[in-house]
């Protein structure tokens, strides 16, 4: 299989040009015949009745914004101001290997801000945790590198971190692997982490432009044909090849978009069994949670996790 790499534009939301039944039969049966439009309540009923038991979820930056994750491209943000000192040619240069080897400091300034532990999961992350706890989550595909899915308690076996992770790192010279904790001290102290073996720069296993995606990304070849429900939350569906996964499920499988606006195939090639809940992401997730009858469960889960953090 030809290696797949992350394509511009863009990472973390920069624009690019687009290149590209009622509850009558359960999930995954039949074709796209243009029957009755589904609603969020219908989706909840399919989940409650276990007509859908193999849920694949795709998430982007919009799921983490309510946790306070800053946008490094937004003037006025503290992170943007911190990066101004480096006189970047353009913000996305941070994620280009040539620029990284020329000047790694901007990336590690960003890494210090985004490093796991600086921010906490929000209700949307804990909704995904509930899907897992109930045995419904087949796989979670995330574009995010903030680690909030792991922090919410979703096991690594259920995660595909399509754009990489801070949980591990690799020397750019000798290719020695390191757990994330080993270079965290340097990152937090504003030092560029160096390999103890060869003194090469240690780079977190975050995918830069042009780099191959993690091998786990190719789990989609098996996951999406098996899925009987696809939920997409908080993404512009503009970064390839991640964006194309939104069309990888069987046409008979309902797709749910919880997002500020219509994106990707929901905008230009909708299916009759698509459901779009537009507006604030947290409000949209709350509506689905309420329709499922899980409000008390998620409140209890959030409280338990908050109490753990306080210890």
Tell me: is residue 236 an annotated ligand-binding position: yes
Q: Is 267 annotated as a binding residue?
A: no
Q: Does 181 show up as a binding residue in the annotation?
A: no
150's tokens: 């792991």
Is 215 annotated as a binding-site member?
no
CA 91 to chain centre: 20
Tell whether 146 is in a known binding site. yes
Answer yes or no: is 71 a known binding residue.
Answer: yes
φ, ψ (nearest 5 deg) of residue 279: 125, -155
Instruction: Note whether 203 and 172 are within 8 A (CB).
Output: yes
18 is in an annotated binding site: no
Q: Are strands 55-59 and 202-206 parallel, antiparallel or unpaired?
A: unpaired
Q: Is 73 annotated as a binding residue?
A: yes
Q: Parallel, antiparallel, or unpaired for β 229-233 and 255-259?
A: parallel
Instruction: Count other C-beta atoms under 10 Å from residue 77's C-beta.
Output: 14
Q: Tell me: is residue 260 an annotated ligand-binding position.
A: yes
The conformation of residue 37, written as its DSSP 8-state character, comes to P
Q: Is 77 annotated as a binding residue?
A: no
Nearest of 196, 189, 151 to residue 169 by alpha carbon:
196
Q: What angle, rounded to 10 degrees, do the helices at 123-133 and 281-292 form?
A: 30
Using alpha carbons, select from 100, 142, 98, 149 the residue that is nearest to residue 239.
Answer: 142
Q: Was 61 annotated as part of a binding site?
A: yes
**Annotated binding residue at 87?**
no
Phi, psi at 235, each rounded to 5°: -140, 150
Q: In a 3-state reduction of DSSP, which class is residue 218?
A: helix
Q: Is 259 annotated as a binding residue?
A: yes
Q: Where are the beta strands (DSSP E) in the chain?
A: 55-59, 137-142, 159-161, 164-171, 177-179, 202-206, 229-233, 255-259, 274-278
273 is in an annotated binding site: no
Q: Is 153 annotated as a binding residue?
A: no
Q: Which residues are catalytic?
A: 163
Binding residues for NAD(+) are 61-65, 71-73, 143-146, 235-236, 259-261
Binding residues are 61-65, 71-73, 143-146, 171, 174, 195, 198, 235-236, 259-261
Binding residues for Zn(2+) are 171, 174, 195, 198
């Amino acid at each position: 299989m030809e290696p797949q790499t992350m394509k511009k534009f863009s990472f973390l939301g920069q624009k690019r040009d687009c290149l590209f039944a009622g509850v009558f039969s359960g999930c995954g049966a039949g074709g796209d015949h243009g029957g009755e439009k589904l609603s969020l309540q219908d989706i909840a009923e399919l989940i409650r009745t276990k007509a859908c038991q193999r849920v694949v979820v795709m998430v982007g930056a919009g799921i983490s914004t309510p946790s306070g994750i800053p946008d490094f491209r937004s003037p006025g943000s503290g992170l943007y101001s911190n990066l101004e000192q480096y006189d970047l040619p353009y913000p996305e240069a941070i994620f280009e290997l040539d620029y990284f080897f020329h000047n790694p400091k901007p990336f590690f300034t960003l890494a210090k801000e985004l490093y796991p532990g600086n921010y906490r999961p929000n209700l949307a992350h804990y909704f995904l945790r509930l899907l897992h706890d109930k045995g419904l989550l087949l796989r979670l595909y995330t574009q995010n590198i903030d680690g909030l899915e792991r922090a919410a308690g979703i096991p690594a076996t259920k995660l595909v971190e399509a754009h990489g992770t801070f949980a591990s790192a690799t020397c750019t010279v000798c290719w020695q692997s390191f757990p994330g904790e080993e270079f965290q001290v340097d990152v937090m102290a504003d030092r560029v982490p160096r390999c103890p073996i060869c003194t090469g720069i240690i780079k977190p296993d975050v995918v830069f432009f042009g780099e191959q995606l993690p091998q786990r990304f190719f789990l989609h070849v098996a996951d999406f044909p098996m899925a009987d429900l696809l939920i997409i939350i908080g993404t512009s569906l503009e970064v390839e090849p991640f964006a194309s996964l939104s069309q990888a499920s069987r046409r008979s499988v309902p797709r749910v978009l919880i997002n500020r606006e219509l994106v990707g195939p929901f905008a230009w090639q909708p299916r009759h069994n698509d459901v779009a809940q537009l507006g604030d992401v947290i409000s949209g997730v709350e509506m689905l949670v309420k329709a499922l009858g899980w409000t008390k469960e998620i409140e209890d889960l959030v409280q338990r996790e908050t109490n753990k953090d306080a210890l």
